């Protein structure tokens, strides 16, 4: 079965990563649970089917499973305390194993709870959304939101394994699948032009489960290489932020003012804004910019804001991004399709041009 190993030097840890169908039934062959003093599962209530499969496969009692609400709203101090209380009630020790099941918000929250409990207890991610499979579950970022700022408190701690069972996507709403495809397309744009062409060639709902195994594996492989090169995001890991400076501003705005866009929808529009900046700086051609727009549209993702948001308001939100240094925005841009550059500073006027470009009805050049 397709597998990878993510090796990071900083803490000399490694994560085994498997991608295939039907993996949850094979868990006993992938994880030696006898190694651990106890095993608990913290699972998103929305991932009940995957959780039952894990429970049956590892023969766990119901009392070793904590079901939590999924979503960003849980990534709070209260959410964290709820999980720590469960760990204390279950008498976890340093040799215990925690299995997280659900989307990216669950792996962020429970990964942080595990990484901070007793200075770190082993954990395995079982991501059940495409977004979590290709992004949140790889690379060890975990944390909670604080004072209205996403992931303000957190850590980087690697899971001991990531187990991606593509069958968990069969019940994923199409809008959530599309949201994950924004990150898949981003992987192509920052690292592999051929991969971009391939994954942006059709509506994402048309891929078969077998094709999704291959797509998820290739995206994980791209992300693994980036994380291995720079676990702590001092350099190349910043390339993963392509589309996210503008995208996070759009996501925050629509969360507060509604109707909310998914992360992937906001990042898709953000990638158009940041590809436009790359084009205006002469880094990519107008044909490249059009190909990126077409690719996102083929997939079913938006390329323009669904409602007008004033460029000034978006600019204000961009300035609050925690990626900024000394108040200056450091952009990740494209030097070509498949090649990203990071820490680029650009004139203020160009930011406004890009924010006008993504308004509905904006034109390509």
Judged by CB under 6 A, the residue of 125, 178, 187, 237 near ligand GLY is: 237
Q: How far is CA 62 from the centre of its chain?
A: 29
Task: In whole angstroms, give the CA distance from residue 86 to residue 109.
Answer: 14
For 128-163, give the DSSP string: -SHHIIIIITSS-EEEEEETTEEEEEEEE---SEEE
Rank residues 139 and 270 by Cβ distance to ligand GLY and give the closer one.
Answer: 139
Of the residues 145, 150, 241, 293, which is catalytic?
Answer: 241
Q: Which of 21, 224, 238, 244 is catalytic?
A: 244
Give dist(CA 315, CA 249) in Å, integer: 8
Residue 66 Cβ vs ligand GLY, minimum distance, rounded to whole Å: 25
CB of 239 to ligand GLY, least distance (A): 9
Our finding on whether 240 is near ligand GLY (CB under 6 A) is yes
Distance from C-alpha of 142 to C-alpha of 157, rounded to nearest angstrom: 7
Quote the least distance from Cβ 135 to ligand GLY, whole Å: 5
Catalytic residue among 53, 75, 176, 183: 183
Beta carbons within 10 angstroms of residue 220's beta carbon: 25
357 annotated active-site: no
248 flagged as catalytic? yes
Answer yes or no whether residue 216 interacts with ligand GLY by CB under 6 A: no
The answer to the question of residue 187 lying near ligand GLY (CB under 6 A) is no
Smallest gap from residue 237 Cβ to ligand GLY (A): 5
Is residue 190 within the footprint of ligand GLY (CB under 6 A)? Answer: no
- State the DSSP H helix or E strand holding residue 99, giving kind and residue range, or none if neither: strand 97-102
State which residue, 54 or 162, has the beta carbon closest to ligand GLY: 162
125 is catalytic: no
As a whole number of angstroms, the distance between CA 177 and CA 346 comes to 33
Residue 304 burial (C-beta neighbours within 10 Å; 0-12, 13-18, 19+): middle
35 among known catalytic residues: no
Q: Does 139 bind ligand GLY (CB under 6 A)?
A: yes
Catalytic residues: 119, 141, 183, 223, 233, 237, 241, 244, 248, 263
| List of residues contacting ligand GLY (CB under 6 A) | 135, 139, 141, 237, 240
């Amino acid at each position: 079965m397709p597998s990878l190993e993510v090796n990071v030097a900083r803490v000399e840890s490694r994560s085994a990563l498997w991608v295939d169908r039907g993996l949850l039934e094979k868990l006993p062959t992938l994880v030696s649970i006898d190694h651990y003093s106890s095993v608990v599962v913290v699972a998103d209530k929305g991932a009940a089917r995957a959780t039952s499969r894990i429970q049956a496969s590892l023969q766990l009692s119901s009392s070793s499973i904590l079901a939590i609400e999924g979503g960003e709203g849980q990534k709070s101090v209260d959410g964290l305390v709820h999980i720590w209380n469960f760990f204390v009630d279950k008498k976890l020790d340093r040799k215990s194993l925690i299995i997280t099941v659900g989307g990216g918000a669950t792996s962020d929250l429970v990964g942080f709870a595990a990484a901070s409990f007793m200075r770190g207890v082993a954990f395995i991610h079982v991501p059940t959304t495409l977004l979590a499979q290709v992004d949140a579950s790889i690379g060890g970022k975990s944390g909670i939101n604080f004072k209205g700022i996403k992931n303000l408190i957190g850590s980087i701690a690697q899971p001991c394994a990531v187990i991606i069972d593509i069958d968990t996507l069969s019940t994923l709403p199409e809008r959530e699948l599309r949201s994950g495809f924004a990150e898949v397309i981003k992987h192509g744009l920052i690292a592999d032009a051929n991969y971009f062409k391939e994954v942006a060639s059709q509506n994402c709902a048309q891929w078969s489960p077998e094709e999704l195994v291959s797509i998820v594996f290739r995206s994980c492989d791209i992300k693994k290489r980036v994380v291995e090169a720079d676990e702590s995001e001092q350099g190349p890991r910043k390339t993963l932020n392509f589309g996210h400076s503008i995208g996070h501003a759009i996501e925050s705005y629509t969360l507060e003012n509604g109707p909310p866009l998914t992360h992937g929808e906001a990042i898709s529009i953000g990638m158009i804004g940041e590809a436009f900046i790359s084009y205006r700086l002469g880094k990519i051609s107008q044909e490249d910019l059009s190909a990126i727009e077409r690719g996102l549209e083929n997939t079913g993702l938006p390329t323009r804001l669904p409602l007008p948001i004033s460029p000034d308001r978006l600019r204000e939100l961009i300035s609050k991004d925690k990626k900024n240094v000394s108040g200056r925005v450091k952009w990740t841009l494209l030097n070509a399709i498949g090649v990203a550059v990071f820490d680029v500073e650009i004139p203020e006027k160009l930011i406004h041009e890009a924010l006008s470009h993504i308004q509905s009805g904006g034109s390509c050049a």
